[in-house]
Amino acid sequence: EGELSTSIGKYGEAADAYGRAVSAGLGGNRAIYQYALSLERIGGAEEKVAGLLKRAADSREDDFWKELARKKLAGQTAMEGDSL
Identify the band that residue 84 occupies on the pLDDT scale cut at 50, 70 and 90. very low
Output the CA–CA distances (angstroms, integers) from residue 23 to 5, 17, 71, in the order listed. 18, 10, 24
Q: What is the pLDDT of residue 1?
A: 79
Which of helix, strand or coil describes residue 61? coil
pLDDT of residue 78 exceeding 80: no
Identify the band that residue 77 occupies on the pLDDT scale cut at 50, 70 and 90. low
